[in-house]
Structure 1
Amino acid sequence: MDVVIAHLPNIALAYFVFFLTVVSPGPATLAIAGASMAHGRTQGMAKAAGVVSGSFLWGMLAVFGMAAFLNSFAGVLYWLKILGGLYLFWLAYKAAKNAGSSEDPERADIGGRSPLKQYVGGFVLHVTNPKALFGWAAVITLGLRPDAPLWMGFVVFAGAYVMSLVINFAYALFFSTDRMIKGYFKVRRWVQGVFAAIFGAAGLKLVLQG
């Protein structure tokens, strides 16, 4: 307990940084919001589950110091960024296609699209983004002092991961309300256009960094 108390200032800073990172709009949160508005709560929750599963994987790797290990293998990170960028381009293409459609191609799919596909999509989106791994590495580093035992890394991870669960599933719940869904279909083409631009820009950034 004394060890935890001694680390509280570091942990508080780490959690604050993590909160800002997760709550700010990005490809993952936009994908959750999009699935929730276009296909309903079940699909939005499935997308969020995929994202937080990917987050769990990166968080565990960060706890065990794998971020530094992977960083030493430039080839692995290079192809991971390329794959992540290509996947974001695919999401941008789908969003642009929907934005260009005069009809509502997704309206009939509310509640009908496979939650498993949404889960896999969320997972792939998160695990092909190396920024998520290094974001976790930064959080773990901020939360620990140099003399911290290994188990303290799990303490920092546990609190941050609970925060990730709450925020991502809150996005799914909020954007799947009847009011949000009805509002989405009124401005669907504009929303999908914005999604296409953001996904495309994020994909381009990953590919260029690769």
Structure 2
Amino acid sequence: MTDINLPLIMGAALVAMASPGPATLAIASTSMANGRRHGLALASGVTSGSLFWSLAAALGMGGVMATNAWLFEILRYCGAAYLLYLALKSARSALRRGKDAPAASAQQRLTLRKTYFKGLAIHLSNPKAILFIGSIYALGLPRDASIADLATVVLALGLQSAAICHLYAVLFASKPIVAGYRKMRRTLDGLFAMLFGFASIKILTASINQ
């Protein structure tokens, strides 16, 4: 195995994954509104998306995207549109009267499968993810990195992402936080609507060189 700077890679990824963003917002809102199982399902979707981008970066797709701006643009618009959809959904929930979040019929239609794919879509539609992972790979991996090196980094990042995302899900599904959410549901859903909207605008105005 060549000399890989695993602490640098893991540290940079830890800061990015633990910081507030579309994925962590979605995990928090889903866990509080729909319970631990759905929170964990969404966290699994986010983790799968993170693993996909990590593999893509390891295979050099980050460089391909950087040199083919149209690929970045397609993902950018898809990501912004999806986050805007989540913002509108949260806003609609905030305007709904009563302490319960979605209506019972909507709750019944929500399956763990749908929640998982929601998490996957959130992460796959973030075009900055592969560029960020590609950049930390460039900093922490030597040019002569072997397949074993790449596999080690991909596995380590995948495990770290899974731990952080699922920890968020368990935390926000705890009884005290859920109780607080139910008391302030409309206010919090309004806040989530604004944050998702801000994230949508941020992705929409992003450039490949940022």
Normalised by the length of structure 2, the TM-score is: 0.91
Aligned pair count reads 205
Q: Name 1:88's counterpart in structure 2.
A: 83
CA distance in 1, matches of 2:178, 2:103: 13
Query: 77-86 or 65-74: which moved more?
Result: 65-74
Residue 57 of structure 1 pairs with residue 43 of structure 2: no
Contact 1:140 1:157 in 2 (8 A): no
Q: Which of 193, 203, 209 is 2:206 aligned to?
A: 209
The worse-fitting range, judged by mean Cα deviation, of 165-174 and 110-119 is: 110-119
Shift of 1:167: 0.3
What is the one-letter code of the residue matched to 1:45? L
Partner of 2:184: 187
DSSP 3-state at the match of 2:20: coil
The unaligned stretches of length 5 or more in structure 1 are none
- Cα RMSD of the aligned pairs, angstroms, is 1.8
Alignment pair present for 1:79 and 2:69: no
Q: How does 1:1-210 map to 2 (within 5 A)?
A: 3=2, 6-7=3-4, 10-106=5-101, 112=108, 113-209=110-206
Aligned residue identity for 2:177? M
Please give the per-residue CA displacement for 1:156-207, whole angstroms capped at 9, x wherever unaligned. 2211111000000011111111111111111112211221111101111222
Query: Structure 1 residue runs of 4+, over 4 Å off?
Result: 107-112
Whether the 8 Å CA contact 1:58–1:132 is kept in 2: the answer is yes
Q: Post-superposition shift, 1:151?
A: 2.5
Report the CA distance between 1:35 and its aligned residue: 0.6
Counterparts of 2:80 and 2:107, CA distance in 1: 29
TM-score, normalization: structure 1?
A: 0.91
For 2:186, the aligned partner's letter is R
Which consecutive unaligned segments of at least 5 residues does structure 2 have? none
Task: Kindly provide the CA deviation profile for residues 93-144 of structure 1, in whole angstroms up to 9, marking residues without a partner as x.
Answer: 0111112222235266597431111111111111010111112212322221
